[in-house]
Amino acid sequence: MILLSGKNLSKSFGVDEILKDITINIQEGEKIGVVGNNGAGKSTLFKILTGEMKADSGEIITARDLALGSLRQTREIPEDITLYDYCLESFNHLIQMEKNLRDIEASLAVTPGSEALMERYALALDEFNLQHGYSYESYTRGILLGLGFSEEDFTRSVDSLSGGQRTRLDLAKLLLIPKDLLLLDEPTNHLDIEAVGWLENFLVQYAGAVVLISHDRFFLDRVVTRIYEVEQGHGQLYPTDYSGYIAMKRERYEINLKHYEKQQLKIRQEENLIRSFKERGTEKLAKRARDREHKLNRIIPLEKPFWSSRRLNLNFHPRVKSGYEVLKGEGLSFSFGAEPLFKDLEFTVYQGDRIGLIGANGIGKTTLFRLLVGNLAPGEGRITYGHHVHTGYYDQELDNLNPHHTLMEEIHSLIPHKDETVVRNYLGAFLFVGDEVFKQVAVLSGGEKSRLSLLKLMLSQNNFLLLDEPTNHLDIISRETLENALLNYEGTLFAISHDRYFLNRVCNKIIDFTKEGLTVYLGNYDDYVLKKERLRRIALEAGEEGETTKTSRKEAQRKNRRAMTHRKNQEAVLLALEETIHRLESRVEEIHELQCLEEVYTRPSEMSRLAEELSTIEEDLKTAYADWEKLL
């Protein structure tokens, strides 16, 4: 059954035609991901489907009594109410039913033998139970906790929440009451990784249909079974998840291109024949030319298939190579007033590391980065940079841009020795063309500001990049371009991100930031998940009681504690060994590179010293590998 249908929808803003004759049908229970570049018209389509905006042409048809819920990127929430009470407004009917039950109970206490009251009470109680009246509060708490709110947040006033927290609250309230159809515009914005995972599971099990706009490729692969692409004003449905869509889109393009080229060849051949017949001048050939012209005019020309080639020309090239140890944090602590945010953080970043820093919202990730770049001072501890380290910082708030500058002025201030043509070429490589280069930074969209910040970062040629949520505001094509640039980057990367696709493609280490501190995991995000699951199983196995009798329970608990301690120690040793192996292997590569330099191989004493160091490292590696294999 079709819940909602948009037929032949078109929408223009001035001379810009955003949607051109788009048709979309949403069936019961479907999970559809809407994708497209920034500015393609995805949010415009949603506004038309929800009735917030009218199409210039076309029609919207909805099923009778359709219960539709939508999450928009902007929405007003009343401020004079607590977070928890705001959500409970969704259950006012149950709250009133519960009050009615209490009133009847009070009446029964006065007249306990009243059959009429008892019958009223029984009917009211049955209806209350039928509508799950005793579970709505626990259900509300579960959704709020799942989306990253804490128990302490429940009593906070809505006016004390940040913009991101309000968006999460809006999403929580939307999910409380089941709908036939949910329309969600960027639902993972402002969610940490754990909350995104919770939302994935919730939506996969959701009985109603879900249509969502998202640039989160990992999320799309987990949740949706259909992809609806908005491109060049047109819509195209792909009956697959995101990964399948990428392959299917390329296949469709190549097939359509062959059909187009085949038709174009046929048209050219016919035109050549017609011209030849006319030039030869006989009546018979002239008639054949007219017949072929009629035949040619009946051909419906195919539209040349579109393939977007507009990509950022992004490459990070460090001016110089840094030393082996890039950054060391020792005993770092920070507080806002009397309230400590984190304390005693210890970590080391080595040359060539591509680290992904993950953790719950509010744990202190951005604050830590601001300490590292000197925007804030630690309450305690020390930050030490290595030799020849040049740091570039990408701020997720994009505060490194001057809002009063034009784009030309912003880039020219970074490279004042370059002329206007060079500056224009750089901006053009980041998709700013024509008069766009004279726009003020203040009027740019989030995606445009992100591109401008990445251009500034590229031009700085630093060998150590600190990136705070670099994929925020970027569309999927730009995210892929950024990932490819970072994979080819020969410097060192330390990135905060909740984009699991980015963490998988780019990172070779994951640092998990929790209340207990920082834990390093070698590998990408998938490796991190596997190791976390292994630790969880170890803890569960160690916590199982081996004996059930009361007399042996204490002894069993002691054994379990010893086993847990032993296994946790093993896991800690394993992680430390992996870190050691990675560090030693990196040094081996560095020594091999040094031995190829003329200023080194022409100095026998230096070559001898490096050979001796290499021999020692190789012995250490053998020992480390042997110890590592024993623990697996």
Residue-wise pLDDT for 230-288, tens only, equals 998 999 999 999 999 989 998 888 998 999 999 999 999 888 888 888 887 788 888 88
333 vs 600, residue with greater confidence: 333
What are the pLDDT digits (tens) for 1-36?
Answer: 899 999 999 999 988 899 999 999 999 999 999 999
Q: Is the pLDDT of residue 549 over 60?
A: no
CA separation for the pair 121, 115 (Å, rounded) = 10
Same-domain check for residues 393 and 425: yes
Residue with tokens 């979309």: 24
Query: Does residue 240 belong to any structural domain of this protein?
Result: no
CB-CB contact of 373 with 468 (8 Å): no
Q: Is the pLDDT of residue 303 over 90?
A: no
Same-domain check for residues 561 and 519: no
- Residue 383's pLDDT is what? 95
Query: Does residue 378 belong to any structural domain of this protein?
Result: yes
Q: Choose one of 493, 526, 559: the last residue of a domain.
A: 526
Same-domain check for residues 496 and 614: no
User: 83 CB contacts (<8 Å, ≥6 apart)?
Assistant: 144, 149, 153, 154, 155, 156, 157, 158, 161, 169
Q: Is the pLDDT of residue 552 over 70?
A: no
Q: What are phi and psi of 494, to 5 degrees?
A: -135, 110
Q: What are phi and psi of 456, to 5 degrees?
A: -60, -40
Same-domain check for residues 514 and 550: no
Same-domain check for residues 373 and 513: yes
What are the pLDDT digits (tens) for 346-355?
Answer: 999 999 999 9
CB-CB contact of 472 with 190 (8 Å): no
Same-domain check for residues 503 and 614: no
- Residue 429's pLDDT is what? 86
- Residue 557's pLDDT is what? 53
Closest CA to 139 of 202, 181, 188, 186: 202
For the ranges 93-97, 430-434, 451-455, the lowest mean pLDDT is seen at 430-434
Query: Does residue 60 belong to any structural domain of this protein?
Result: no
CA separation for the pair 402, 423 (Å, rounded) = 17
Record the tokens describing residue 60, joined without a space. Answer: 């919207």
CB-CB contact of 18 with 11 (8 Å): yes
What are the pLDDT digits (tens) for 563-621?
Answer: 554 555 566 666 777 777 878 877 887 887 777 777 776 777 777 788 788 888 888 88
Instruction: Work out the percent of the chain whose per-residue pLDDT is above 90.
Output: 51
Same-domain check for residues 513 and 549: no
- Residue 541's pLDDT is what? 75
Same-domain check for residues 329 and 418: yes
Q: Choose one of 491, 526, 561: the last residue of a domain.
A: 526
CB-CB contact of 502 with 483 (8 Å): yes
Element housing 193 (H / E): helix 193-204
Give the distance from CA 147 to its chain's centroid: 15
Average pLDDT, the chain: 87
Same-domain check for residues 403 and 469: yes
- Residue 543's pLDDT is what? 67
Q: Is the pLDDT of residue 548 over 50?
A: no
Same-domain check for residues 566 and 510: no
- Residue 76's pLDDT is what? 64
Domain enclosing residue 579, as ranges: 544-631
At residue 37 the predicted structure's pLDDT band, cuts being 50, 70 and 90, is confident
- Residue 567's pLDDT is what? 52
Domain count, the chain: 3
Same-domain check for residues 460 and 486: yes
Q: Choose one of 526, 560, 581: the last residue of a domain.
A: 526
Query: Does residue 266 belong to any structural domain of this protein?
Result: yes
Record the tokens describing residue 340, joined without a space. Answer: 């400590």
What are the pLDDT digits (tens) for 58-70?
Answer: 999 999 999 999 9
Q: Is the pLDDT of residue 632 over 70?
A: no
Q: For the stretch 88-121, what's the b/e string if a residue is b when 16 or more beta carbons lie within 10 angstroms of its beta carbon?
A: bebbeebeebbeebeebeeeeeeeeeeeebeebb
Same-domain check for residues 329 and 293: no
